[in-house]
Amino acid sequence: MTFLADIRDAVGSFADRAVDLTLPLTCAGCHRAGTSLCGDCRMALAARLAAGRDVPAGRLAQQPGALQQIEWCGSYDGITRRALERLGDAGERRVSEPLGTAIANRWALAGTGGDALIPVPAPADRVRDIGYDHAALLARVAGRRLGLPVVEALRRVPAPDPDPRFEVVPGRRIFGRSLVLVDDVVTTGATLATCAAALMAAGATAVSAIAVAWDQRQLTAPRPVLA
Ligand SMILES: [Zn+2]
């Protein structure tokens, strides 16, 4: 755990924001000082993440598991990757605004609708280190723009193997609803499929998913082909 995370644990969530504001503020795109994402880079990022701009709309040829649809906004490189690293690794929650907006725009254009957004819960050590769950932040921004509620319905189950396992938090309203998972990066879709299976078992009528970026670099064979 980092020294910063120790401070965050000690002083609680209100002061998280104050700690966030003391991080060295440089643009995720061009390293200009004084902003987490400058106006020029915000426009460049929005253009990269705009629907259909650099990623063909389509589905993974091998649609994983129970998922009805997987969408993403752009490929995991360049300014998109740097912005996601700022959000997910460096503790800069402010970057959730443009990235969550991209999710909302993409889902409004290409998604199959849904009744609620369900963030894929981040690993506990990640949440401890950066002070928040980055997928939950993305979902909140996207939910505001899409007019959809965000339900933190899933939690990770400790498992001996490296593949994450999830369960539905008791009392969350899942039954009879069409749900949309929200995550930062999708690779094979295996994690999303695991989440979808848990939600379907709890009575969801359908589960789709959207991520900010698709990381094809991490793929091992067989390589998904866009339909
Ligand atoms: Zn910039």
DSSP result, 78-91: HHHHHHHHHHHTS-
Residues 6+ apart with CB under 8 A from 200: 66, 207
User: Which residues does residue 214 pair with via DSSP β-bridges, in sequence order?
Assistant: 75, 186
Domain-wise residue ranges, the chain: 3-218
Choose which CATH entry (3.40.50.2020, 3.40.50.300, 3.55.40.20, 3.40.50.720) describes domain 3-218: 3.40.50.2020
pLDDT per residue as tens digits for the range 79-116: 899 999 999 988 888 899 999 999 999 899 888 889 99
Neighbours of 183 (CB within 10 A): 26
Distance 28 CA to ligand 1 centre (A): 6
Distance 116 CA to ligand 1 centre (A): 33
The span from the CA of 202 to the CA of 50, in Å, is 34
Helices and strands counted in the chain (H then E): 7, 6
Phi, psi of 73, deg, nearest 5: -95, -30
Range in 79-88, 185-194, 214-223 with the lowest mean pLDDT:
214-223
Distance 80 CA to ligand 1 centre (A): 12
Amino acid (one-letter) located at 150:
V
The span from the CA of 66 to the CA of 70, in Å, is 11
Which two tokens mark 118? 């369900």
pLDDT per residue as tens digits for the range 195-207: 999 999 999 999 9
Distance 146 CA to ligand 1 centre (A): 27
The span from the CA of 138 to the CA of 103, in Å, is 8
pLDDT at res. 64: 61
**Mean model confidence pLDDT for the chain:** 81
Please list, residue by residue across 52-89, b when 16 or more beta carbons sit within 10 angstroms of its beta carbon and e when fewer do. Answer: eeebeeebbeeebebbbbbbbbbbbeebbbbbbebbbe
Distances 76 to 10, 80, 134, 155, 170 between C-alpha atoms, Å: 34, 6, 16, 25, 34
Range in 16-20, 97-101, 130-134, 174-178 with the lowest mean pLDDT:
16-20
CA-nearest of 75, 77, 76, 71 to 104 is 71
Confidence check: pLDDT of 35 > 90 = no
Amino acid (one-letter) located at 130:
I
Q: Do 116 and 151 contact (CB within 8 A), yes or no?
A: yes
Confidence check: pLDDT of 8 > 60 = no
Residues in the chain: 227
The span from the CA of 118 to the CA of 115, in Å, is 10
Higher pLDDT, 48 or 54: 48
Distance 126 CA to ligand 1 centre (A): 26
Distance 35 CA to ligand 1 centre (A): 8
Confidence check: pLDDT of 158 > 50 = yes
